[in-house]
């Protein structure tokens, strides 16, 4: 079981955490909503929850709750640009189907 | 696959529910757009990595260019390249007379009040030009955020009047942007530094740009911002520093001040480069190509630069003092000083500002971007991305708002520097018996006489029930909303008839004029006071004449002998002549007293006659307590 980050993603997260001035790491997760069933969660973490797993990768703590881990195991978090737009991408091997916009998915 | 941003804990948006928002600094020379991504507010670059968009629009027969390309084309195509839309927006043709001469455009006086500029692509208004700039910035935000914007916050100078604010909103609507609200530039700068999250206190925003200077005093009270006072100089900025250095360089190089334009341009460029280089070193070498061939070498020390610009900096410091006085606070009460505008990179400026306020100014955020960043933070809150955060920013109205009263006097309803939104009401009454309508003339300015103030709107309240003069109660309410737009309502209290007007006139004021109006009110304070008293006395004289004439018409013949009638008529004529001609309120006042004395016998007789009429048909003992020999 593991979650990884690309160097591009790791360096952005490190920068954001530094300028935010607080936070132990970044939370990846899924929640049930969206047009195709499940949606990704990407948040800063100030305090760990009881059922959190922590993966440390490239100097960044990735926090994920056990329930979400089932849907995200093997995911690589990437950071990329599409034209002027830039942001984080989930490369999730568990995805069978996603909605056209890619904001939600099915496993 | 969508690109995601990191949210604050527990605040991830549901898919398709991201509320994208942007802050736009729509500047005179340059504009910027910023947004909050992964909780960081940052300005957005274009495809070439440029954050700053020159506020220049060039029209050609089949195309509109905005930004750098348009700016570069300006010298070769001046008539079709519009570069000062912000100075024109919300103004009438008449208002442009003062600045129109400096601008190379061809203005068309159409029947509408909005000035139009003739270009090869047809006539355009300043609103349309601003809309082109906003379109480019809006599209940049959409491309950068990967979705439609739910709304934007656009910053405007604190001195912008209703018309200029409304015109800015119209430009945004034309650009297809929903405006959450307009935000004053100094307030945005304070928000960028997070001063709103700090302890309560008073802050100063010192904004020295290329061509303008503004200073604002803000008060943070229980997490709420309030602009206490603003002031500035619309023709003082970094360009003046360059001019001062250039003049010195010309002198050193043995050139006269009236060299050809090309050489002047060249010297100005060298002056600016030298000025900027001195932010990082003690002296710089300067080389100037001379028009007659060859070149001049010299050096400029920081000390020399300081001596050249000290006079200009002192002017800004004096303005700061004046605004502090307006706000009623002393320099040592200021908690934080925020630096805005590229010229605040100058070390001497920082030093002098630090000296005045007794503390180091805040300079960490790029002074060119700080306003856009604050607007982005505010837009993010208004988009609903920060639930529970109730940031409310208050601003002030820059000039007093009031109505015209009898005799052309200004009655101020909302004094200048009142925090907005605000609603104030005042009661007025009728001047003549049976008066059924009242003209409401809304004016803006500090002077006592309406003629010296600026007219904003006129409307009429009709259908006032007939009453004697002074009996009607007409409540005039002024309400200024958060965007500085004014609504005026007049309501007659007994009958409930009302009329109102929303003031969004299509013309505005230059900041110069605002300053001039403020200055004039100070310069003319004494004269205005005398003028006001004179008008007040004259109006009182007219009221007395009006009342006496009405009385004579009803019972003059009945109560007065021919000789007596002549005394009263003479007294009336005398007062009328004095009221018409005298320039001294004391003389008018004395004349009113004289008339009252001369006609005392008539007034007494009228009272007695009135009492007799009231008692007719009654028995004397019904008036037992009243001892009146005539009534017996």
Which 114-143 residues of chain B touch chain A by CB within 8 A?
140, 143
Query: A34 and B16 in contact by Cβ < 8 A?
Result: yes
How many Cβ pairs closer than 8 A exist between chain A and B? 91
Query: B1 and A43 in contact by Cβ < 8 A?
Result: no
Q: Which residues of B are catalytic?
A: 25, 86, 185, 207
Q: Which of B398, B402, B392, B395 is nearest to B421 (CA)?
A: B395
- Domain B397-516 of CATH type 2.60.34.10: yes
Query: B9 and A40 in contact by Cβ < 8 A?
Result: no
pLDDT recorded at residue B622: 63
Cβ neighbours of A27 in B, within 8 Å? 9
From CA A95, how far away is CA A76, in angstroms rounded?
13
Cβ neighbours of A12 in B, within 8 Å? 38
Phi, psi of B97 (to 5 degrees): -50, -40
What token pair was written down for B125? 């208004």
The string of pLDDT tens digits covering residues A36-95 is 567 788 889 988 888 888 999 898 999 998 888 888 888 899 998 877 788 888 888 877
Query: A42 and B5 in contact by Cβ < 8 A?
Result: yes
Cβ neighbours of B8 in A, within 8 Å? 43-44
Cβ neighbours of B12 in A, within 8 Å? 31, 39, 41-43
CATH architecture of B526-615: Up-down Bundle (1.20)
pLDDT recorded at residue B338: 96
Q: What residues form DSSP beta bridges with B107?
A: B117
Nearest CA in chain B to A78: B3
Q: B245: alpha, beta or left, given left = phi > 0 and alpha = psi -120 to 50?
A: alpha
DSSP B602-614: HHHHHHHHHHHHH
Other CB atoms within 10 A of residue B237 CB: 22
From CA B468, how far away is CA B94, in angstroms rounded?
41
Cβ neighbours of A41 in B, within 8 Å? 7, 12
Q: Specify the length of chain B in residues.
A: 632
pLDDT recorded at residue B628: 47
Which 139-178 residues of chain B touch chain A by CB within 8 A?
140, 143-146
pLDDT recorded at residue B505: 37
From CA A102, how far away is CA A82, in angstroms rounded?
14
Q: Which of A16, A46, A82 sits opposite B3 (nearest CB)?
A: A82
From CA B191, how far away is CA B498, in angstroms rounded?
41
Q: Which of B8, B47, B144 sits opposite A43 (nearest CB)?
A: B8
pLDDT recorded at residue B533: 80
Q: What angle do CA B358, B416, B188 make, to 5 degrees?
A: 55
Other CB atoms within 10 A of residue B612 CB: 12
Phi, psi of B439 (to 5 degrees): -90, 130
Residue the block writes with tokens 């605000």: B422
Q: Rg (Cα) of chain A, in Å, rounded?
A: 14
pLDDT recorded at residue B511: 57
Cβ neighbours of A40 in B, within 8 Å? 4
* CB of B356 closer than 8 Å to CB of B331: yes
Cβ neighbours of A102 in B, within 8 Å? 1-2
List the single best residue of B3, B9, B147, B193 to mutate versus A (max A Cβ within 10 A). B3
CATH 2.60.34.10 domain range(s) in chain B? 397-516
Mean pLDDT by 10 residues, chain B (632 residues): 73 65 92 90 93 94 92 86 85 64 66 75 90 96 88 89 86 91 91 86 92 89 76 85 91 83 86 89 90 87 93 94 92 94 93 95 95 93 63 63 84 78 81 86 84 84 86 87 79 86 55 66 74 82 85 82 84 86 84 85 82 72 52 40
Query: B6 and A80 in contact by Cβ < 8 A?
Result: no
Q: Is B39 on the interface with A (CB under 8 A)?
A: yes
Q: What is the CATH number of domain B21-237+309-395?
A: 3.30.420.40
Q: Which of A26, A27, A102 sits opposite B2 (nearest CB)?
A: A102
- The contact set of A with B (CB < 8 A) is 12-13, 16, 19-20, 26-27, 31, 33-35, 39-47, 80, 82-90, 98-99, 101-104
CATH 1.20.1270.10 domain range(s) in chain B? 526-615
Nearest CA in chain B to A87: B3
Distances from the Cα of B221 to the Cα of B226, B337, B393, B406, angstroms: 8, 17, 11, 40
pLDDT recorded at residue B131: 95
SS3 readout for B160-186: CCHHHHHHHHHHHHHCCCCEEEEEEHH
Other CB atoms within 10 A of residue B433 CB: 14
Cβ neighbours of B4 in A, within 8 Å? 40, 42, 87-90
The whole-angstrom distance between A1's CA and the closest CA on chain B is 23
List the single best residue of A15, A87, A88, A106 to mutate versus B (max B Cβ within 10 A). A87
Query: B2 and A103 in contact by Cβ < 8 A?
Result: yes
Cβ neighbours of B7 in A, within 8 Å? 41-44
Phi, psi of B372 (to 5 degrees): -65, -40
The whole-angstrom distance between A30's CA and the closest CA on chain B is 10
Q: Which of B200, B216, B175, B346 is nearest to B277 (CA)?
A: B346
DSSP B187-250: HHHHHHTTGGGS-SEEEEEEEE-SS-EEEEEEEEETTEEEEEEEEEETT-SHHHHHHHHHHHHH
Q: Which of B35, B124, B42 is nearest to B378 (CA)?
A: B35
From CA B216, how far away is CA B204, in angstroms rounded?
6
Query: B14 and A87 in contact by Cβ < 8 A?
Result: no
From CA B114, how far away is CA B108, in angstroms rounded?
9
pLDDT recorded at residue B205: 96
CATH 3.30.420.40 domain range(s) in chain B? 21-237+309-395
* CB of A71 closer than 8 Å to CB of A95: no
Query: B2 and A83 in contact by Cβ < 8 A?
Result: no
The whole-angstrom distance between A19's CA and the closest CA on chain B is 8
The whole-angstrom distance between B325's CA and the closest CA on chain A is 37
Q: Is the ipTM of this complex over 0.85?
A: no
């Amino acid at each position: 079981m593991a979650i990884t980050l690309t160097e591009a993603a790791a360096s952005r997260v490190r920068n954001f955490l530094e300028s935010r001035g607080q936070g132990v790491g970044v939370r990846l997760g899924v929640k049930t909503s969206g047009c195709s069933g499940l949606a990704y969660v990407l948040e800063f973490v100030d305090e760990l929850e009881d059922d959190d797993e922590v993966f440390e990768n490239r100097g960044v703590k990735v926090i994920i709750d056990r329930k979400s881990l089932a849907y995200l195991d093997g995911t690589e978090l990437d950071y990329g640009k599409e034209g002027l737009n830039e942001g984080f991408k989930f490369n999730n091997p568990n995805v069978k189907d996603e909605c056209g916009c890619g904001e939600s998915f099915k496993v | 696959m969508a690109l995601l941003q990191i949210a604050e804990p527990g605040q991830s948006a549901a898919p398709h529910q991201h509320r994208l928002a942007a802050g736009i600094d729509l500047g005179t020379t340059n504009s910027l757009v910023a947004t909050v991504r992964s909780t960081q507010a940052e300005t957005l670059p274009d495809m070439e990595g440029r954050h700053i968009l020159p506020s220049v629009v060039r029209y050609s027969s089949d195309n509109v260019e905005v930004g750098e390309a348009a700016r570069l084309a300006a010298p070769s195509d001046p008539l079709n390249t519009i570069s000062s839309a912000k100075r024109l927006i919300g103004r009438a043709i008449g208002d442009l007379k003062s600045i129109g001469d400096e601008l190379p455009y061809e203005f068309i006086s159409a029947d509408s009040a909005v000035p139009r500029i003739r270009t090869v692509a047809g006539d355009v208004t300043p609103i349309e030009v601003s809309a082109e700039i906003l379109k480019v910035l809006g599209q940049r935000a959409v491309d950068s955020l990967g979705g439609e914007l739910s709304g934007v916050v656009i910053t405007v100078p604190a001195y912008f009047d209703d018309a200029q604010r409304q015109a800015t909103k119209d430009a945004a609507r034309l650009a297809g942007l929903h405006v959450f609200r307009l935000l004053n530039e100094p307030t945005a700068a304070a928000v960028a530094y997070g001063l709103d999250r700090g302890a309560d206190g008073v802050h100063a925003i010192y904004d020295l740009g290329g061509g303008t200077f503004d200073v604002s005093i803000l008060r943070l009270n229980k997490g709420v911002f309030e602009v206490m006072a603003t002031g500035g100089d619309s023709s003082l900025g970094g360009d003046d520093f360059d001019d001062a250095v250039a003049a010195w360089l010309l002198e050193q190089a043995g050139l006269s001040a009236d060299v050809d334009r090309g050489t002047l341009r060249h010297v100005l460029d060298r002056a600016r480069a030298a000025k900027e280089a001195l932010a990082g070193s003690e002296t710089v070498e300067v080389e100037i190509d001379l028009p007659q061939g060859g070149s001049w070498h010299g050096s400029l020390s920081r000390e020399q630069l300081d001596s050249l610009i000290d006079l200009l900096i002192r002017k800004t410091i004096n303005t700061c003092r004046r605004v502090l006085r307006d706000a009623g606070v002393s320099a040592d009460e200021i908690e934080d000083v925020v630096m805005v505008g590229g010229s605040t990179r100058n070390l001497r400026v920082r030093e002098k500002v630090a000296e005045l306020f007794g503390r180091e100014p805040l300079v960490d955020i790029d002074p060119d971007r700080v306003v856009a960043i604050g607007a982005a933070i505010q837009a993010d809150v208004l988009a609903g991305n920060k639930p529970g955060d109730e940031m409310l920013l208050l601003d002030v109205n820059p000039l007093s708002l009031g109505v015209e009263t009898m005799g052309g006097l200004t009655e101020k309803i909302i004094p200048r520097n009142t925090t907005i939104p605000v609603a104030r009401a005042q009661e007025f009454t009728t001047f003549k018996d049976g008066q059924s309508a009242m003209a409401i003339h809304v004016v803006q300015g500090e002077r006592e006489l309406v003629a010296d103030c600026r007219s904003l709107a006129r409307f009429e309240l009709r259908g006032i029930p007939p009453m004697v003069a002074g009996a009607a109660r007409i409540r005039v309410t002024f309400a200024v909303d958060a965007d500085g737009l004014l609504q005026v309502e007049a309501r007659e209290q007994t009958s409930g008839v009302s009329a109102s007007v929303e003031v969004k006139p299509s013309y505005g004021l230059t900041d110069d004029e605002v300053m001039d109006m403020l200055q004039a009110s100070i310069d003319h304070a004494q004269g205005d006071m005398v003028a006001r008293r004179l008008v007040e006395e004259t109006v009182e004289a007219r009221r007395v004449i009006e009342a006496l004439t009405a009385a004579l018409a009803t019972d003059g013949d009945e109560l007065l002998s021919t000789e007596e009638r002549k005394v009263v008529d003479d007294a009336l004529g005398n007062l009328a002549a004095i009221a018409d001609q005298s320039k001294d309120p004391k003389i008018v006042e004395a004349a009113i007293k004289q008339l009252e004395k001369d006609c005392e016998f008539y007034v007494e007789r009228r009272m007695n006659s009135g009492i007799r009429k009231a008692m007719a048909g009654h028995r004397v003992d019904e008036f037992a307590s009243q001892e009146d020999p005539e009534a017996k």
